[in-house]
Chains A and B, each alone.
Chain A
Amino acid sequence: MKKHYSINRILVYVFLASMFIVSVFPFYWMVAGMTNTAVEVIKGKMTFGNQTLSNITTLFTTYNMVRILLNSLKITVFTVLGTLIVSSMAAYGFQTYASPAREKAYSIIILFMMVPFIALMIPLFRLIVKMHLLNTHIGLVLTSISSVFIIFFFRQSFKAFPYEIIQAARVDGAGEFRIFFSIFIPSMKSTYAAAAIYSFMSSWNAYLWPLIILQTDKQKTVTLMISSMSSAYFPEYGVIMTAIVIATLPIIIVFFGFQKYFVQGMLGSSLKQ
């Protein structure tokens, strides 16, 4: 009996270990690629080489890397902040002040999630041009901060919030917005952290829409740069791998930094379905 149990245990660990290798290997490959030349990467070289410095130098001299990274960072930070405020306020409004009219509005915007973005590109583009927001980071941020998924996510989490606290605050004479900003938000930190990570990932990695709205190299983001690099007549894979590593690092850092909250935040949202 005891032995049977431990064999199972070993199998579980073997399974976990193999899943670990599968999950992490591409990251190893990516870092190894960063240290090799284009030809070596294509040839499938698995070991580390000594090209790191030259790849990084090429990347930073051929491309305006610093500026591109700052662009990505700026867009992402403003998108995340905007998303958190706008979407959480909306979710709070839908959840705390329930009314049939708003419930209807909510159902409709949830349905919007089903429309593929690609169908909306042309009208959205016309709109952006008419609003003189083409090739601006503001245009990109404005169109990205009202995420239906994040509103949905926030609302699911908010269902768990004890309503009595809000009532008590009202009795104490606190205004509705003060309740939201100084009582509600601080107590939902992990939900906000989870939404922040999600929104950070989707903004940092966004491709199709930034590609259309941003017109010049000066405004470009990291993801757009990787795409244009990989379509050259002769792609420099070592440099591309370097760019991918640099582009992936910030998300990994953010994720590790907020991991604890992330899991907790997800927990909140799944409480009530």
Chain B
Amino acid sequence: MMGENTSGSFIKSKNRHGWLFVSLALILLGVFLFYPIVYSLYLSTTSSRGIVQKFVGFSNYARLFQDSMFILALKNTLIFFLIQVPIMLFLALILATILNDKTIKFRGFFRTAFFLPAVTSLIAYTILFKMMFSLDGFINGVLLNVHIIKSPIPWLLDPFWAKVTLIIALTWRWTGYNMIFYLSALQNISEEIYEAAKIDGADKVKQFFYITIPLLKPLILFTAIMSTIGTLQLFDEPMNLSQGGVTSATIGPGNSLLTLSVYVYNLCFKYMPNFGYAATVSYAIVLIVALLSIIQFKVMGDKK
């Protein structure tokens, strides 16, 4: 396959080295990832109240369909996925395209600034956002002052607006992060393609849709799948944006920010602990991620 040396001993030594190089990682992953996965699969066939545990087979999986809290969490998570991910990726693409234009000044400066949100810890930035989006917080103050709104928006008080706030927060935190991926890929696309398009009379908008997007397709697919995994595992943000009341048990008003991962957390730590059922919900998440990834592969038509 590669090169002139195909004698048996070389192949053997090659194979041995191959295993040697991957062995450290495989051992660590086997112990700290594979074993827990198998164990939690077993857990998903049990139902428990703390340490009082019993085997229930697949009935946990059947229970999912009747669990209105699970269905609500699923609905919320899918809304975030369907709305936030496209907005964020599209915005990241636009920013990357603009910053790839060599005639724009201060490109490095803007690039750094846009990436900056991605360095903050999830806890820190949600604490900040919660304050800024309070009823008489900074955001409402500005909007009132410039007369965009007449009365303050109940950002985190109303089920609809709470979702909007979370989407804004997620977009703030992750757009620059995705932009960097696109930007680095764009630098690979030769100027000539754009020059040729310009001569053919394609304006910037046309170039964006007919050149940039198709060329970046594999990378868009990659970021889309990473974001899918991220959204389905969305945890810190809804948790921190909503928590704070002494006693509040809902995640966001009317549980509007309850995501699947937060539900798993609640099943383990907030409610009467049922680790078996929590594991079941976790595997439902895995299935959904797999399903969504397959759909994305199909839609983007990537033949890998």
Min C-beta distance of A239 to chain B, whole Å: 13
A246-266 to B contact mask, C-beta < 8 Å, 1/0: 011001100110010011101
Interface pair B218/A273, CB less than 8 Å apart: yes
Interface pair B36/A120, CB less than 8 Å apart: yes
Which of A19, A123, A143 is within 8 Å of B40, CB to CB?
Answer: A123
Closest to B98 in A: A12
Min C-beta distance of B204 to chain A, whole Å: 8
CB-CB under 8 A from B268, the residues of chain A are: 118, 121-122
Closest to A273 in B: B218
Interface centre among B116, B125, B219 (most CB of A within 10 A): B116
Closest to B118 in A: A201
Q: Is A234 an interface residue (CB 8 A)?
A: no
Q: With A24-B116, A248-B120, A266-B180 in contact, is A116–B33 under 8 Å at CB?
A: no
Chain A residues numbered 166-217 whose CB sits less than 8 Å from any CB in chain B: 167, 170, 176, 180, 201, 204-205, 207-208
CB-CB under 8 A from B282, the residues of chain A are: 115-116, 118-119
CB-CB under 8 A from B17, the residues of chain A are: 93, 97, 176
Query: Interface majority SS on A: helix, strand, loop or mixed?
Result: helix
CB-CB under 8 A from B26, the residues of chain A are: 90, 105, 109
Closest to B128 in A: A26
Interface pair A123/B128, CB less than 8 Å apart: no
Interface pair B119/A251, CB less than 8 Å apart: yes
A120 vs B183: C-alpha distance in the bound complex, in angstroms? Answer: 35
B100-137 to A contact mask, C-beta < 8 Å, 1/0: 00001000001111111111111111011101101011
Q: Is A37 an interface residue (CB 8 A)?
A: no
Interface pair B18/A102, CB less than 8 Å apart: yes
Interface pair A205/B122, CB less than 8 Å apart: yes
Interface pair A90/B22, CB less than 8 Å apart: yes
A240 vs B244: C-alpha distance in the bound complex, in angstroms? Answer: 15
Interface centre among A23, A30, A266 (most CB of B within 10 A): A23
Interface pair A123/B21, CB less than 8 Å apart: no
The interface-forming segment of A55-63, A73-81, A144-152 is A144-152
Q: With A112-B37, A118-B235 in contact, is A19–B114 under 8 Å at CB?
A: yes
B165-192 to A contact mask, C-beta < 8 Å, 1/0: 0000000100010001101110110000
CB-CB under 8 A from B18, the residues of chain A are: 93-94, 96-99, 102
Q: With A223-B121, A226-B124 in contact, is A97–B15 under 8 Å at CB?
A: yes
A29 vs B18: C-alpha distance in the bound complex, in angstroms? Answer: 51
Q: With A146-B28, A273-B218 in contact, is A113–B112 under 8 Å at CB?
A: no
Interface pair A116/B232, CB less than 8 Å apart: yes
Min C-beta distance of B137 to chain A, whole Å: 6
Q: Is A138 an interface residue (CB 8 A)?
A: no
- The total number of A-B Cβ pairs within 8 Å is 235
Count of residues in A whose CB is under 8 Å from the partner chain:
86
A27 vs B120: C-alpha distance in the bound complex, in angstroms? Answer: 9
Min C-beta distance of B69 to chain A, whole Å: 16
Q: Is A70 an interface residue (CB 8 A)?
A: no
A114 vs B127: C-alpha distance in the bound complex, in angstroms? Answer: 27
Q: Is A53 an interface residue (CB 8 A)?
A: no
Chain B residues numbered 207-231 whose CB sits less than 8 Å from any CB in chain A: 218-219, 221-222, 229
A24 vs B115: C-alpha distance in the bound complex, in angstroms? Answer: 10
Which of B24, B121, B285 is within 8 Å of A86, CB to CB?
Answer: B24
Interface pair B31/A127, CB less than 8 Å apart: yes
A38 vs B245: C-alpha distance in the bound complex, in angstroms? Answer: 18
Which of A143, A146, A167, A201 is within 8 Å of B25, CB to CB?
Answer: A146
A121 vs B233: C-alpha distance in the bound complex, in angstroms? Answer: 14
CB-CB under 8 A from B35, the residues of chain A are: 123, 127
Interface pair A97/B116, CB less than 8 Å apart: no
Q: Is B236 an interface residue (CB 8 A)?
A: yes
Min C-beta distance of A13 to chain B, whole Å: 8
B239-257 to A contact mask, C-beta < 8 Å, 1/0: 0000000000000000000
CB-CB under 8 A from B58, the residues of chain A are: none
**Can you offer 18 A-B residue contacts whose CB atoms are under 8 A?**
A16-B110, A23-B176, A44-B134, A97-B18, A102-B22, A114-B293, A118-B261, A118-B268, A122-B275, A127-B31, A142-B28, A146-B32, A204-B121, A227-B123, A230-B127, A247-B121, A262-B180, A266-B181
Shortest Cβ-Cβ A-B pairs, 9 listed = A93-B21, A97-B18, A119-B282, A273-B218, A90-B25, A205-B121, A267-B184, A123-B39, A146-B28
List 15 other contacts, CB 8 Å, given A118-B235, A226-B127: A44-B131, A86-B24, A90-B21, A92-B21, A102-B18, A112-B37, A116-B232, A116-B264, A119-B279, A124-B36, A143-B32, A148-B33, A176-B20, A208-B235, A223-B123
* Chain B residues proximal to chain A, CB less than 8 Å: 1-3, 5, 14-15, 17-22, 24-26, 28-29, 31-37, 39-40, 43, 95, 98, 104, 110-125, 127-129, 131-132, 134, 136-138, 141, 172, 176, 180-181, 183-185, 187-188, 204, 218-219, 221-222, 229, 232-233, 235-236, 261, 264-265, 268, 275, 278-279, 282-283, 285-286, 289-290, 293
